[in-house]
A and B are shown apart, each in its own frame.
Chain A
């Protein structure tokens, strides 16, 4: 099989599964629907691992070729095409392996849902879209994949389309992402207009060095660097998809979707598309320090301030969601520090441990009969041992425990930021260091509340609350009933626990083995470009990456380790030992607590300004512009005139369509004769 067919097979086999399950799910039934979609993704996953292996041992060459011509215009040709290099290969494996785990997990999680086949169809469609995104060799297909994953995300957040909160969340997610796409598309426009008239990565990157000092006027009279403007516009796209401040508001609400997709789409893969994109564009971003500073600031704010929000959440999924936001901020900071390879390394480790944490949370939710409130949990380790152990491993990876995967990627980020020479790096360093403590605290707050301490599901049942911020709206289906008075939590079936166990393995181990090739070695050579002379931050991380064992041992004498340990200890003290203290703090600093609980009031602000503002403006244009001025003054004035004429004419109506038509045609002929009279007489 040639490489092109191989890559087509990788991309298309999930699509085939999706189409079969989606269009014929009603006929083939549930079992066949999950078999066919899992088969499709499994084929992709196996082949992807083969491709990655080829890149690791050097037997596979970079593949860059068109598949078919999508459009030719103005003499330029735009094709759907594949670029498969080491970066793509890594993403292929991450996407397909996590997707495969989520597919299997879904058999258990969606077991009772009437939309079973539809769900499998969507997640396979997502996998296809994500694969097209990472395999693209040009900006258009990238945008295709970009929007397609956004569409599937929209469909899946609103999967339970009867729930008002879900269909509010999916609309919000789509529109906020569209704001990002607005910038992204304009960025693509600038690339097309100035970078040699092509949208193929290789052509664009080749044209970029010559444009280093080119400026353009966007506001007449003000010269801006072309590369800076282009990179910032592209990054706005990344901000939408990867939920960076201030376009992060959609991600917490996306938790309205079923948990498997929170793991797959809103943690492991889709939200990292922005990180992937900027890494892919590293030759462009390396040429603009301004853009890199912007990237770094956005990432720092997200990393720290979204972490704070995780501290006050009571919904188990939302804690993991804010943790995801914060970790995406870490990746973005790494991008800003020009440590693209480190960012991608964190994308990979995060994909595994965060998918694990989400699926673990989902398992807990199932065990709790779809109650998501951590205040009703506690002591679950006795009832759900596999979920407990795997969640603990995931949490340890997340907080950066030495030798766990998250440690290697997060410490590399911190090293790169520490040694970055950008203006924003001081703030960024503070944010990522402080973030270590915050991460450890909220992660183990969740861990202790869920798996340890008193079993609270009995006592708290009386004031059982619906999760989320729309408490007033009652859920409409049978998914939120919680444990009954005599129920006990139960461990999930093997289709749920198997993916947990399988994801726990890379969550623990992959960092140790991957850091050398990915960060220290040559794996991304020629694919991701960092100008080490201008941006030396990465060098420190590369240096440490050469010896994973030494790096792990050295960690015990570094600040991040002790911050993380302090976070865990504080969480233990607050939630195991002295639960009256957090309550007292909450009371004492109720202002701060309210601010955090309301997510800094950004949702309210956006709703008031953008949603209400555009509706008010629309109403004004409609009522005043269209109805009062245009129709009222101009049209109806003349229409009244005609109206009075037609009232007279109406008396002549006979009611037969023939006579209408005849009169009309005669009328036209009479008019035409009248107009032509001067010509005819001449």
Chain B
């Protein structure tokens, strides 16, 4: 089992996390840190073969592993990735490495537990992306909430209890219905929880499809999050420690969007088409309404959280742009690129805020001003990430939005026009924040005392900057991995199940 690359990417970080946990109290924190770093590096290294050895010319699942788990119920330990899920496993393993580095000396209490929580969460998230069995997916999907809940609840800010309850309540609500949907499909698919068997179902009446879609929708829309079930995210981000925000934005949100692609669209295509106008509408609300809300935020983390919701609007928009029963290849691939890119950019933005927070202990825009005077290197990096967040070409932030807008023009010009307002709003809220925080005269004595980035922070910023620029200049590297899987998905969804 441990020979399979997918099992490796799931269990390496979990085992490493347990080892870190075993180091015990804070007196042995240095050991815990180095052990956690080793685990994260190893976790990232074992995820790389998925990318490098991935066969671009093969559309189906790769690196498949299948063995019985609970035989009496037909539940299997069934793993496999296509060109879509593979990218997120690599992204997640990468983000975990960044997060371990980001928390290095910042987390002084319960260091081992903090590091362990992230490593274990990383394994669970990889599991959710790799699972081909619905129950296995469900276990990972729910399981990964536990470390996140703890990260917010233990290392979070003053209102962490409110935030974590809100977070949990929201997510629990949806996933229960998803489980019901799985059980229904289990019987339809001949007592199998195999996701591919769900997808292969030939006939599902429209009413049933719509009910199933609603179940999936409630579960995944909360995670994305889509308007109007998005209000947990700003609170969670504000209370979460920097690392928690990085993972939350970079990865956790992607699971929701991934759920739409893996479950809702292929299992209930007719309901997806039927309800796509609603999803498109909600996505556009996310782009425009949330974009405006982001503009007036006074808390940097809330601002970036709203910006995340707005950017994720492009993801759901891209997935549900249909011409007849045909998904739009531009828009779907754009949505996927946007997900990966947002993983890098949002992690970088939250990290930048964390760097400033560690020095001044405030997230309020008004408490800053003129940071560039004291931290010029940091200011240059944050400029790059701010531009990426504004969707500037040659950064990764442009590629996905560009592709979705191009796809949208082919489907409906007005939808495209509304989506394209992000060019203005995205730049407005990001650069206005940047102006107030980074530019200007030194705002107060806290800013006066700020020191520029240390070597560790510099390393993280460089790595993120290289990825953001690399993906903007050569997106082909990522996109060519997903072509066949997306084509298969489009062909599959085009076949009616009525």
What residues of chain A lie closer than 8 Å to B183, measured between beta carbons? 675, 679
On whether the beta carbons of B392 and A73 are closer than 8 Å, the reply is no
Contacting residues, chain B, for A72 (C-beta < 8 A): 476, 479-480, 483
Cα distance, A144 to B334, chains bound together (Å)? 17
Interface pick from B86-94, B125-133, B411-419: B411-419
Expressed in whole angstroms, the minimum distance between the Cβ of B401 and any Cβ of chain A is 9
> Can you name 18 A-B pairs with beta carbons within 8 Å?
A70-B473, A71-B399, A71-B403, A72-B479, A73-B483, A74-B333, A147-B394, A161-B439, A179-B424, A182-B420, A185-B420, A186-B417, A189-B416, A190-B413, A192-B409, A614-B292, A621-B292, A635-B170
**Inside 8 A of A661's CB, which chain B residues have their CB?**
146, 150
Interface residues on A, range: 35 or more
Q: For residue B296, which residues in chain A have a CB less than 8 angstroms away from its CB?
A: 615, 618-619, 622
Top 6 closest pairs, chain A to chain B, by CB: A189-B409, A618-B292, A74-B329, A618-B296, A167-B439, A144-B393
Chain A nearest CB from B302 CB (Å) reads 9
Instruction: Give min CB distance, B282 to chain A, whole Å.
Output: 13
Give the residues in chain B near A73, CB-CB below 8 Å: 329-330, 333-334, 403, 479, 483
The one of A189, A216, A631, A643 that contacts B231, using a Cβ cutoff of 8 Å: A631
Interface residues of B in 431-451 (CB under 8 A from A): 431-432, 435, 438-441
B393 touches A676 (CB 8 A): no
In the complex, A75 Cα to B490 Cα: how many Å? Answer: 14
B19 at the interface (CB under 8 A from A): no
Residues A639 and B169 in contact, CB atoms below 8 Å apart: yes
Q: Are A186 and B179 in contact (CB under 8 A)?
A: no
From A148, A158, A192, A614, give the contact of B406 (CB < 8 A). Answer: A192
Residue numbers in A under 8 Å from B73 (CB-CB): 676, 679-680
Main secondary structure, interface of B, reads helix
A626: contacting residue among B231, B398, B423, CB under 8 A: B231
The answer, yes or no, to whether B217 is at the interface (CB within 8 Å) is no
Chain B interface: which of A170-178, A428-436, A446-454?
A170-178
Residues in B with CB closer than 8 Å to A8 are none
Contact B427 A675 (CB under 8 A): no
Establish whether residues B476 and A70, one from each chain, have CB atoms under 8 Å apart when the complex forms: yes
> Which one of A71, A75, A634 lies within 8 Å of B475 (CB-CB)?
A71
* A617 partner, pick from B161, B179, B292, beta carbons under 8 A: B292
CB within 8 A of B295: which of A68, A71, A614? A614
Number of residue pairs spanning A and B whose beta carbons lie under 8 angstroms apart: 172
B393 and A143 within 8 A (CB):
yes
Rounded to whole Å, the gap between the CB of B490 and the closest CB of chain A is 10
Contact A175 B231 (CB under 8 A): no
1/0 per position for B105-145, CB-CB distance to A under 8 A?
00000100100000000000000000000000000001100
- Rounded to whole angstroms, the CA-CA distance of A174 and B426 in the bound complex is 12
Interface check B20, CB cutoff 8 A: no
Q: Does A657 contact B (CB under 8 A)?
A: yes
User: How many Å from the CB of B98 to the closest CB on chain A?
Assistant: 22
Q: What residue of chain B has the Cβ atom nearest to residue A154's Cβ?
A: B431
* B31 CB-CB contact with A under 8 Å: no
Q: How far is the CA of A587 from the CA of B476 in the complex (A)?
A: 65
A652 CB-CB contact with B under 8 Å: no
Interface string of A610-628 (1 = CB under 8 A from B): 0000110111011001100
Having A621-B289, A664-B150, one finds 9 other A-B pairs with CB under 8 Å, namely A72-B479, A72-B483, A74-B329, A140-B402, A174-B431, A185-B405, A186-B413, A617-B292, A660-B154
B427 touches A178 (CB 8 A): yes
Knowing A74-B330, A193-B410 are in contact, say whether A178-B292 is a contact too (CB < 8 A).
no
The answer, yes or no, to whether A151 is at the interface (CB within 8 Å) is: yes
Which residue of chain B has the shortest Cβ distance to A132 in the bound complex? B394
Kindly state the separation between the CA atoms of A383 and B296 in the bound complex, as whole angstroms.
Answer: 52
Contact of A618 among B165, B293, B329, B394 (CB under 8 A): B293
Interface residues in B366-389 by Cβ distance below 8 A to A read 370, 372-373, 383, 387
Given A144-B393, A185-B420: A476 in contact with B150 (beta carbons within 8 A): no
At the interface, yes or no: A642 with Cβ under 8 Å from chain B?
yes
User: Assuming A161-B372, A631-B231, A635-B166, is B476 touching A69 (CB within 8 A)?
Assistant: yes
Chain B residues within 8 Å of A189, by CB:
405-406, 408-410, 413, 416
Chain A residue with Cβ nearest B306? A622
A203: min CB distance to chain B, Å:
16
Most buried by A among B143, B372, B406, B435: B406
A305 to B432, CA, bound (A): 30
Contact of B166 among A476, A621, A639, A657 (CB under 8 A): A639
Q: Which residue of chain B has the shortest Cβ distance to A69 in the bound complex?
A: B476
A618 contacts B295, C-beta separation under 8 Å: yes
A148 to B425, CA, bound (A): 18
Assess the B392–A147 pair: CB atoms within 8 A.
yes
Confirm or deny: A215 has a beta carbon within 8 angstroms of a beta carbon on chain B. Answer: no
Please tell me which one of the listed residues A171, A626, A657 contacts residue B154 in the complex, with CB atoms under 8 A apart.
Answer: A657
Contact of A178 among B153, B370, B423, B474 (CB under 8 A): B423
> Which of chain B's residues 45-81 have a Cβ closer than 8 Å to chain A?
72-73
Q: Which of the residues B228, B393, B474 comes within 8 Å of A630, measured between beta carbons? A: B228
Cβ contacts under 8 Å, A638 to chain B: 169
- Complex-state Cα separation, A657 to B409, whole angstroms: 51
When the two chains form their complex, are residues B110 and A657 in contact, meaning their CB atoms are under 8 A apart?
yes
Once the chains bind, are B435 and A167 in contact (CB under 8 Å)? yes
A668 at the binding interface (Cβ < 8 Å): yes
Across the interface, which residues of A come within 8 angstroms of B329, CB to CB? Answer: 73-75
> B203 at the A/B interface (Cβ < 8 Å)?
no
Question: Cβ of B149: which chain A residues have Cβ within 8 Å of it?
Answer: 664
CB contacts (< 8 Å) of B232 on chain A: these are: 635
Asked if B393 contacts A148 (CB within 8 A), the reply is yes
A646 within 8 A of B: yes
* Minimum CB–CB distance for A225 against chain B, Å: 14
Q: B27 within 8 Å of A by Cβ?
A: no
> In the complex the two chains form, is A182's CB within 8 Å of B424's CB?
yes
Which chain A residue lies CB-closest to B147?
A661
- What is the CA–CA distance of A388 and B149 in the complex, to the nearest angstrom? 71
| Contact between A660 and B479, CB atoms less than 8 A apart | no
Contact of A151 among B294, B387, B402 (CB under 8 A): B387
- Taken together as a complex, chains A and B put the C-alpha atoms of A675 and B480 apart, in Å, by 42
Contact of B439 among A158, A181, A216 (CB under 8 A): A158
Residues of B within 8 A of A154 (CB): 431
* Contact residues, A151-208 vs B (CB, 8 A): 151, 154-155, 158, 161-162, 164, 167-168, 171, 174-175, 178-179, 181-182, 185-186, 188-190, 192-193
Residues of B within 8 A of A178 (CB): 423-424, 427-428
Tell me whether B495 is interfacial, beta carbon within 8 Å: no
Give B296's nearest chain A residue, CB to CB: A618
Distance between B328 CB and nearest chain A CB, rounded to angstroms: 8
- Mark interface residues in A48-90 (1 if CB within 8 Å of B CB, else 0): 0000000000000000000011111111000000000000000
User: Which partner residue on chain A sits nearest B383 by CB separation?
Assistant: A155
Check if B421 is an interface residue, CB within 8 A of chain A.
yes
Residue A462 CB within 8 A of the other chain: no
Which residue of chain B has the shortest Cβ distance to A115 in the bound complex? B376
Q: Which residues on B sit within 8 Å (CB–CB) of A635?
A: 166, 169-170, 231-232
Residues from chain B with a CB closer than 8 A to the CB of A70 are 473-476
Q: Is A46 an interface residue (CB 8 A)?
A: no
Closest partner residue, chain B, to A164 (CB atom):
B440
Give the chain B neighbours of A140 by CB distance below 8 A.
402
Cβ B424 vs Cβ A615 within 8 A:
no
* Residues on the A chain within 8 Å of B424, using CB: 175, 178-179, 182
Report the separation of the CA atoms of residues A622 and B310 in the bound assembly, to the nearest whole angstrom.
Answer: 14
Q: Which one of A192, A621, A665 contacts B293 once the chains associate, using CB atoms below 8 Å? A: A621
> With A190-B409, A679-B183 given, is the CB distance from A642 to B169 under 8 Å?
yes
Task: Let me know if B370 and A162 touch, CB within 8 A.
Answer: yes
By the criterion CB–CB under 8 Å, are A657 and B373 in contact? no
Question: In angstroms, how far is the closest chain B Cβ from the Cβ of A2?
Answer: 23
Please determine whether A626 and B441 come into contact, CB atoms closer than 8 angstroms: no
Rounded to whole Å, the gap between the CB of B429 and the closest CB of chain A is 9
Task: Tell me if B483 and A148 are in contact (CB < 8 A).
Answer: no
Distance of B381 from chain A, by nearest CB (Å): 12
Q: Which B residues touch A680, using CB under 8 A?
A: 72-73
Minimum distance in angstroms from B96 CB to a CB of chain A: 18
